[in-house]
Amino acid sequence: MGARDKGNAVERIIKSLAPMALFVAGAVAFVLGTALVLASDATLSASSSSASGDLAEAGRWLQFVAAACFLAAVCTAGWEAVVRSEWVAGAEIAAAALGSLLLTIGLVAFAASDGSDPAGPVTVAVGIGLWALLVLSRAARAALAEQGPAPDVALGVPDTGQGVPVTGQGGRGRQADLWLAAAIGLFALAIGYGLTSAGGSAGPGIAAGVLEGAGAALLAGSVAVARSRQMLTTRPVPAVLIGLALLAISFLAYAVVAGLAFGTLAALGAGLTIVTAVELAAVVALGLAAWTRVRELYG
């Protein structure tokens, strides 16, 4: 990004090797945790409910470990910004770290309560909401910059490490709409995740799946449009798009499963298995994108 854009937390993180390496470690932990949850769903039945519960519990703890890795990645990026006296970037990343901390606390509370504590999803939702506010502030800054006479470089058009400049109407870069869509997507994800605290209720479950699916779809759409405008041209971008698209499908599948009436635990487990399998594929794709980014930075 340009010289005025050093304060953006997302871009600051993805341009640093150590934070991205921690993201890869977190992705591996989340993949393993989701795989255990998948095994739990696949073995869910009246005769094996205890074993299924143990697998799910182990999966939730691994997902907490993944969140801790993500928090460490954000904090590492913040420390690098402070060492380089990039105070604006450090302040914004500190806010991102707070959101990541809430997400981590929510997941550990969810794991410690065997998935029954409604405070866990709500805490995670607040953490996602903080990230949404950060992205919304980025959208506002981009909108103000695009209204002025500043050239593309001052608007934070990605440098050669992230893409190539593209000009819009009047010679100005067009980024504000993409950041705004991403912020709305994150807000939808936050609200949807918060609704999962209602437990097994059909109505909140359907609403949660639809909102989360819409949020992931908006994020995918933002990345896709940015790619079409040549703002994102690096190798990880296609994997990110695939991962976000699969996440949207898994959330919508969850909404369908939440709205169906299953006669047995085995039937419910079969439905949840499909949802978790798609989610696992999404996490693998996003993990591969992070690994590809690490290889780019290392090379």
Summarised one tens digit per residue, pLDDT across range 62-81 is 999 999 999 999 999 999 88
Least confident residue range of 51-55, 61-65, 87-91, 252-256: 87-91
What is the total residue count of the chain? 299
Q: What is the pLDDT of residue 25?
A: 96
- Quick check: 3 pLDDT over 90? no
Of 5-19, 76-90, 190-204, the one with minimum mean pLDDT is: 5-19
**In the structure, what pLDDT confidence band is assigned to residue 162 with cuts at 50, 70 and 90?**
very low
User: Given a cut of 50, is residue 156 above it in pLDDT?
Assistant: no
> For residue 117, what pLDDT is reported?
81
Q: Name the pTM for this structure.
A: 0.86
Of 162, 157, 178, 179, whose CA–CA distance to 3 is shortest? 157
CB neighbour class for 137 (10 Å; exposed up to 12, middle 13-18, buried from 19): middle
- How large a percentage of the chain has pLDDT more than 70? 86
